[in-house]
């Protein structure tokens, strides 16, 4: 959620680079950040660089371990969202217990 008045950065893939989406996100206090692969490869050469893309890829990988999340069996959005929340809770629980 962040502090009031502070824009939150939203890292996105190049597939989401659309003007209407950018203006919508700005109206919701998000600052869209789309980094091309070229920019990322140049940034990796910088010693102060911290990769952000792997965080999303890793999280998707963890979520795909749950069959009901990977294959959406639920017809209602609410039920699927509940499965997402449950999968996230289990992932966090395991990370806390197992380190």
Contacts of residue 83, defined as CB under 8 A and 6 or more positions apart, other chains included, come to 66, 68, 69, 74
pLDDT number for residue 30: 87
Q: Domain limits at 91?
A: 52-99
Q: End of a domain among 28, 49, 70?
A: 49
Number of domains present in the structure of the chain:
2
Indicate if the pLDDT at residue 74 is higher than 80. yes
pLDDT number for residue 79: 94
Across residues 32-56, what is the average pLDDT? 67
Residues in a beta bridge with 30: 8
> If you count them, how many residues does the chain have?
99
pLDDT number for residue 84: 92
Together in a domain, 63 and 92: yes
How far is the C-alpha of 75 from the C-alpha of 39, rounded, in Å? 40
Structure tokens at 24: 């919508």
pLDDT number for residue 6: 76
Together in a domain, 71 and 34: no
Q: End of a domain among 26, 49, 72?
A: 49
Q: Measured between alpha carbons, how far is residue 95 from residues 18, 55, 68, 76 in Å?
A: 36, 15, 20, 29
Together in a domain, 43 and 71: no
Indicate if the pLDDT at residue 51 is higher than 70. no
Together in a domain, 82 and 94: yes
Together in a domain, 40 and 75: no
Decide which of 49 and 67 is more confident: 67
């Amino acid at each position: 959620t962040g502090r009031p008045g502070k824009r939150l950065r939203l890292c996105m893939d190049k597939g989401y680079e659309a003007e209407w989406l950018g203006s919508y996100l700005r109206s919701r206090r998000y600052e869209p950040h789309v980094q091309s692969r070229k920019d990322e490869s140049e940034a990796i050469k910088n010693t102060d660089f911290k990769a952000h893309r792997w965080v999303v890829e890793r999280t998707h990988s963890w979520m795909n371990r749950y069959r009901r999340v990977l294959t959406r069996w639920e017809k209602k959005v609410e039920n699927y969202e509940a499965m997402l929340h449950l999968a996230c809770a289990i992932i966090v629980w395991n990370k806390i217990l197992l380190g």
